[in-house]
Structures are given as C-alpha cells and as structure tokens.
Structure 1
Amino acid sequence: MNRIYKVLIISLLIWATVSTTLFSYYYIQYTNLQIQLNVVENRIIRYKKALDAINETLHTLNSSYIVLLSNYEDLLTRFHNILNKSVAILVIDYGKGHREIYKIEFISGVNDTAFEILKSVVGDIKYKYYEAYDDVFIECINGVCNHQVSENSGYYWMLYINFELSPYGAMHTIIHDGDIVIWNYTLVSW
C-alpha cells in the first residue's frame, strides 16, 4: 500500500504543480488581457472624445456652409437682378396739360407689369380687383377718380403702351425695357 500512497502522493503533487502552473499561466493571461482591455477602453474613450470634437467641428462647418450658401444665393439673386434690370418711362397724364413723368427701373420677370410699375411710383391708387378677369380696374390715381359725365361717356384712366391702347388689363400688361407706359385720364364715349 505504500506504493499506492506514493503513487497517489506523486500524482497529487504532479496535479497540484500542473494545476498551479496552469492557474498561474491563465491568471497571467487574464491579467494581460485585463490590461489590454483597459488600454482599449481608454483608446475608445479618447476616440469617442475625438469623434465628438470632430462632430462638433462638422456641425459648426455645416452651419457656416449654410450661411455661406445663403449669402451666395443672395449674391446670385442680386447679380441676376442687376443683369435683368430694365428701364421704362411712366407718364401719368391728368389731362389739361398736367403730366408727371418718371423713369422707372424694374426687373424683368419680377415687377414688370403696368400695375406694379404704377404702384412703385404712385402712393394713392384706388382700384377694383375683378376675380373673373384676374385683373384690376384703376379707379383713382393721386385723388383723380373716374366719373361718368353722361349716359354714354365718362372720364376714365386708360392704359397705353408705347402710345397704343393696351389690349390687356394692368396686371397682364408686361412692360419691356424701353417701353413708355402712359396712364391717361381721358374722356371715353361708348
């Protein structure tokens, strides 16, 4: 039995040595992995802070870009308006030799109707909008108003473009560069 005890004791010592060695090895591996994990966690924290800083910078750059883009669009609009600026002559003829003449700058495609040009100069305009025609009928300019003098005649504001009676209403008469727009208060018979 001595031999069995010896074998058991030797086996127990070998097991204890091997298990202690393995435990020590795995403990050292665990410790090394824990250190590496801490290093990686610290790197992740630093990278996250760096990414947050980059994100903030990108947000600031994006805001600046939006402002620059808006300013660029404003400049393009101004440049377009300068290129498309047109000039017309507006004559308001009150009759009996009393006329007002204006040189009007306008932008083609923006404020280029006879009505818009009249509104840009005259502060006191009375008109009636007719939805069926999508247009206006000018009733008064600077206190001079239409009035019927008889059953078949009256004084009314008439619109002429380049000395020809406009076939359209004031909101649909497009003015071009160099046009002469005349609002003539005249006796009309029908």
Structure 2
Amino acid sequence: MTVAITKGQVQRLQVLYSQYERHTLDATRGTREERLQWASQQTGRLISSFKDLTLDEAKGLIDALQRLLNVKAPSKRTRRREDARRAGIDGRRDGQEFKKEPRLASAEDLATIERFYLRLDWTRDRFDAWLCSPSSPLGKRSNPQIRTLADANSVRWGLKRLLQKAGIWYEDSKKRG
C-alpha cells in the first residue's frame, strides 16, 4: 500500500519548485505543465498532479530541490507530548518514570549547554573542571560525561542556577531553559 502525499508536502514542493524556477535562467519556464513534466521525469512515471505522488516520491523531490537550491530542511518545531514531558522531567530526582529507558543527549541539548557556559564566560576547560567538581550535578561520578538526556537536563539546570545567581539569566528563545 502506498501512502499519499501530505498537504504540507504539496505546499513545500510548490514553494521549492517556484524558487527553483526563479533561480534558473530560462524565464519562459514555470507553467504547471512544465512543473508536472519535471516531476514525471524525476519519478519515472506520468504525474498529472502533485497529489498523484506518493509520500516517498514527494520526499525525494523535496530533497532534490533542496539540494539544487542549497536549502536546509526546516527544523521540526513541534514535539510529541511524551518527548516534551521527557525533556522537562528526565534527570530530576523525582522523575523516575523514564529511568528504565534512557535516551541519549542530542546535539541540540549539548549546544544548549554550550550556550549556557559561554554566557558565564567559561572556556571548555573551565566547564570540564566544573563538571568534575563535587558541586556539579555529575560530580559524584569518577568520569562525568553528558551521555543521556537526564545528564544533559541536570547539567543544564545546574548551569541555569549559576546564571541566575550571577544575575545574567534570560530565557533562551532557541531552546527551553
């Protein structure tokens, strides 16, 4: 069974294709027929409407256009409810519900931590020294490293407390704090 293209994919494909057409030197192109002919050539079958595309075909066309235009995929803004809950309580002393299924810290989590310690005017060496100190949330370990989301949250909250104590805390618009 093939899954049909989503409404969001249709819109994204139309926007990307119109941007692609504006960047080509041929000003006569850009009609609906030419757009569908391009999609047919890319998929290897006749396409009479973008709604005829499957989910995978649409993803392939979107990826191809993004590569041609050197455009990065837009970041996902919404979180699933469980992910949002996990991000909020994983690592707390009372947050035991996720302890059996640890999740690795993401690059975003590590980038947020880096932004926090840079606000304190710390170098990476200074941050590592703090991480090994007994006042760090991971200081009781012999080799403290941020591996799980729980570790990342604990360190983030510890840095947040230090920022608040220094009077330089402000909400980070890119990420939760």
TM-score, length basis structure 2:
0.27
Q: Which has the larger radius of gyration?
A: 1
TM-score, length basis structure 1:
0.26
